[in-house]
Amino acid sequence: VESLGKRHEFSLYFAAYSQETADTLACRQSRGSCSFVPCSAPLVDIGTCRGGKLRCCKWTPSS
What pLDDT digit, counting tens, does each position of 3-53 carry? 455 555 545 455 555 555 899 999 999 999 999 999 999 999 999 999 999
Supply the pLDDT for residue 51: 94
Is the preceding peptide bond at 42 cis, omega within 30 degrees of 0?
Answer: yes
pLDDT at 63: 60
Q: What is the pLDDT of residue 21?
A: 80
57 close to 45: Cβ distance less than 8 angstroms = yes
Taking the whole predicted model, whether its pTM rises above 0.75 is answered as: no
pLDDT at residue 19 in the model? 53
